[in-house]
Structures are given as structure tokens and as C-alpha cells.
Amino acid sequence: MGNESSTLGGGDEPRHDDGTTEGGECCGFRVLGIQEQSPASVVGFVSFFDFILEANGIRLDTKDATLMELIAQSEDRPMQLKVFNVKAQTTRELQLTPSRKWPGKGLLGVTIRFDSYEGAEDQLLHVLNVAESSPAERAGLRADSDYLLGTPERVFADAEDLHDEILDALDGSFQCYVYNSLDDQVRIVSIVPTERWGGDGVLGAEVGHGYLHRLPSVCRGTIGSSVGFVNLPKDAKAATDAFLKPQRLSENSQATSRDQEKQKEEVAAKAQPDTVAQDSQANVSTIKLEYFATESTTNDASCSSAER
């Protein structure tokens, strides 16, 4: 890693096509995007700086389905998580209860990525200057104190990652996580890269990467905090659903079916007369309404970057 700058870089770690490592002592699940009102939104996760190392005492140092299975098994029951913060280089314990009792999808409402935390404190881009009226200024980027961390799906290990993201979103927009060293906060900004802003480049900012552009030492005494929430695509799936037992998946639909059956019976009871006159002799017959309901099992198994 050098002390490079770019108007829009190099990592030492070998990376796979999906940007992750296969496993090892310095691996865990990096916390990326957090959804509003989700179980993950209330436990104090810090986007990009937090790595989940253990769940219920089980080490998560291999890229497999262990965490997803543990989350599915712990639905509506507290889980104990061990979380490592790369900014402060400290570990803390968190308690999180997976649940579907919130407006979004999945049991946690967080985007995670299996990754190595070795050298993760260097995976950021220092904003050196911001041109007036540029896309960077309109996004609210601040020179000197802002550091670009990545998107809900991509970590900015170097300037090339930012360049690739900009090209993918040219004349569109993308969400970017930004750490500010003065506020000690990670926030989400929306960047609209374009050549049509009246200046050079498509971002209008210069960024630096390398040893001279690391976080100031004064920032390393705290874990920081996150503000704002990520907006995921409507077709995003929840990875944990693939590990829920069929009867668990059907509980919601069964409960709905029972509620509907109860409502029908209540309506029928109100509409049902106690007696009906049949003839002049006032013969009375009782009307009985019977309802037959069947409960079907829905197999809503799917999988997500929402908890990747």
C-alpha cells in the first residue's frame, strides 16, 4: 500500500472474485448496511468497522452457512455475538434477537460480508479536496475529515474500487458510507457521478489512499457510531430463510389462516338468526353454518445480500 492519491491505489491481500477470503484466524462477517426498524438497528452496530466473530460461542472464521443456520435456529430468542471493531481494535459482546416482526425482510435486517479484518483499517479513501458545485460537494463530502468506506455491497480497498463503482453508476446514483473524523460517525450519502457538472472528472474530488491517509490516531480511542439506514432493492432476499424449517416458515401463514377462520365464524354468528319461522304452527329449525378451513404450508425459501 502506497501513499497514493487519485482524482476520482493497491491492496496486499489476495482477493477472490467476490472480494472475500476463504477463511482464517483474522476472518469474520463485516457489518455493512443496516435496515431501518430491523433487529440489527437497535444493538449499536457500526457499519464497515464492525466484524462479527462469534455467535452463541461458535467461532465464525470459515466462509460457510454456520451463521445463517444459527440465526434461523435463534428466531425470537436472544443470540450472543462477539464483535470486533477494527477502528478501535477492541472486542465487545452484543445481544441480538432475530425476528421477522418488523417491516423489512429477513431475521436481522443487516447486510454482512465474510471478509478478513487484517488490514481492514486501511480499507478507506481519504477525501483530500472537493470542487465547488461538483457531484462530491452536492453529496455533502467534506475535505480532510471525510473518509469513503464503500457501498452496501462493496468495500473500497483502494481507489480502483471507487472508480469501478462510479463507472457502474455514471449518470445514476449510488449509496456510499462515509466516516467523518470530526463527528466520529459513519453516515450514508447518495453520490450522483456525472461528466455534466462543469468541471473535470465525474466526481469532482481528490482522494488519497495509503499510510499517510489512514485515520488519525485520535479517532482510534472509540468504536464510532452509525447514522442513517440503507435502502435495499425490493427484490432483495433473506439468506436465513433458506435455513428455516418448513414448519417454521409456515407459522405465519397458519396464524393468518386461523385468524381468518375465526373472523368468518364471528361474522356468521352475528348474521345467524336464533330461529326461523317455518309455517303457521311456528315450527322452529336451527340454522347451523359449518366452515371448513385447510392450512397450507408455504415454502418461501430464499437467500440475501441483506445478510450476506
Domain ranges (residues) in the chain:
4-8+122-226, 27-119
Looking at per-residue confidence, does 180 or 121 come out higher? 180
Is 80 exceeded by the pLDDT of residue 159? yes
Nearest of 65, 87, 297, 266 to residue 184 by alpha carbon: 87
The percent helix, strand, coil of the chain (3-state, each to 5) is 20, 25, 55
For the stretch 236-290, pLDDT in tens is 666 666 666 654 555 555 544 555 566 666 656 655 544 444 444 444 333 232 3
Q: Which amino acid is at 77?
A: R
Rounded to a whole number of angstroms, the distance between the first and last alpha carbons of the chain is 28
CATH number of 4-8+122-226: 2.30.42.10
- Map residue 277 onto helix, strand or coil: strand
Looking at per-residue confidence, does 208 or 305 come out higher? 208
Q: Which amino acid is at 173?
A: S
Nearest of 286, 293, 224, 308 to residue 44 by alpha carbon: 224
The H-or-E segment that residue 168 falls in is helix 159-168
> What is the rounded distance in angstroms from the CA atom of residue 230 to the CA atom of residue 236?
12
Q: State residue 9's pLDDT score.
A: 31
Q: State residue 231's pLDDT score.
A: 72
Do residues 54 and 60 lie in contact, with contact meaning Cβ atoms separated by under 8 Å?
A: yes
Q: State residue 262's pLDDT score.
A: 63
The whole-model pTM stands at 0.70
Nearest of 121, 134, 160, 137 to residue 10 by alpha carbon: 160
Q: State residue 40's pLDDT score.
A: 95
Q: State residue 185's pLDDT score.
A: 97
Q: Which of the given ranges, 6-10, 80-84, 210-214, has the highest pLDDT on average?
A: 80-84
Query: Are 4-8+122-226 and 27-119 the same fold in CATH?
Result: yes
- The domain made up of 27-119 has a fold known as Pdz3 Domain (2.30.42)
Give percent above pLDDT 70 in the chain.
67
Is 50 exceeded by the pLDDT of residue 45? yes
- Map residue 252 onto helix, strand or coil: helix
Q: State residue 16's pLDDT score.
A: 39
> What is the rounded distance in angstroms from the CA atom of residue 9 to the CA atom of residue 33?
25
For the stretch 70-105, pLDDT in tens is 999 999 999 999 999 999 999 999 999 999 999 988
Do residues 116 and 93 lie in contact, with contact meaning Cβ atoms separated by under 8 Å?
A: no
Nearest of 181, 208, 205 to residue 126 by alpha carbon: 208
* Mean pLDDT score, 94-123: 92
Is 90 exceeded by the pLDDT of residue 128? yes
Is 80 exceeded by the pLDDT of residue 144? yes
For the stretch 22-42, pLDDT in tens is 556 799 999 988 999 999 999
Q: List the Cα angle 196/201/207 in 5-degree steps.
A: 135
Q: State residue 122's pLDDT score.
A: 87
Q: State residue 261's pLDDT score.
A: 64
Is 90 exceeded by the pLDDT of residue 191? yes
Mean pLDDT of the chain: 79
> What is the rounded distance in angstroms from the CA atom of residue 246 to the CA atom of residue 80?
25
Q: State residue 284's pLDDT score.
A: 35
Report CA-CA distances (Å) from 144 to 1, 205, 225.
Answer: 20, 11, 19
> What is the rounded distance in angstroms from the CA atom of residue 233 to the CA atom of residue 125?
26
Residue 121 phi, psi dihedral angles, 5° rounding: -65, -15
| Residue 250 in grid coordinates | 409456515
Q: List the Cα angle 38/241/305 in 5-degree steps.
A: 65
Core vs surface per residue 170-199: b (16+ CB within 10 A) or e: eeeebbbbbbbbeeeebbbbebbbbeebee
* Mean pLDDT score, 183-205: 95
Residue 129 phi, psi dihedral angles, 5° rounding: -155, 155
